[in-house]
Structure 1
Amino acid sequence: MNKSELIEVVAKEAGLSKATVSKVINSYHKAVQVAMSQGDKVTLPGFGTFQVSERKERSGRNPRTGDPMTIAAAKLPRFKPGKLLKDSLA
């Protein structure tokens, strides 16, 4: 399912216009992005938790040349599914 299909399904289910649902979904994405960029967790009970994970600097090898290299530390978005979401997939 892509974003436009999601908007269509939510609009039909909620009885709202696609434009309204699109604004809500865009606002939701922006709110999650801002919260995570500030280091906060976003928890949606039953659905899951969005959080920032930090990966340490590590050594690796360039796959093309085989030369050793340092892979920089990074902050990554993570999603941990909630119990209701996990149970719905079983």
Structure 2
Amino acid sequence: MSNNLTKREIVLEIYNKTGFPQKQVVDTVQMTLDIIQKALADGRNVELRNFGVLEVQVRKSRIGRNPNKPEAEVVIPQRAVVKFKSGKILKQQLKKIDLAKLQAQPPAPPAAPAP
């Protein structure tokens, strides 16, 4: 089993706990994600009480280097990024994680290169 929680797993868990039709749960979860995505794309922060805040921030422009040509500097323009700040309850729950168990999990395999 993967260490990631997928949208499908969220849908199945809600379906199992509520008994609502899966189609309705899928539509509701997707609608929720669409609303969050639109708010972030409009530059609005998303506050989910007791969970955390998704904040839109500006990453400053900077100078980067091409590893194949280290002498060539590349200007990386400023851009909007999303940062997550966990809420109080989530922070408390994260303190209870067994770090040894978390570190013992093998890393995810690298993604296959695009054809």
Q: State the TM-score, normalizing by the size of structure 1.
A: 0.91
Instruction: Write the mapping of 1:21-32 to structure 2, written as runs, cut at 5 A.
Output: 21-32=25-36
Q: Which has the higher relative contact order, 1 or 2, with Cα contacts under 8 A spaced 6 or more apart?
A: 1
| 1:75 equivalent among 62, 73, 80 | 80
Equivalents in 2 of 1:14, 1:64: separation in Å?
Answer: 54
What is residue 58 of structure 1 aligned with on the other side? 62
1:4 maps onto 2:8 in alignment: yes
What is residue 48 of structure 2 aligned with on the other side? 44
Equivalents in 2 of 1:75, 1:26: separation in Å?
Answer: 23
Specify the code of the residue in structure 1 equivalent to 2:44: D
The number of residues matched between the two structures is 90
Gaps of 5+ in 1: none
| Greater than 3 Å deviation, 4+ residue runs | none
Q: State the TM-score, normalizing by the size of structure 2.
A: 0.73
Gaps of 5+ in 2: 97-115
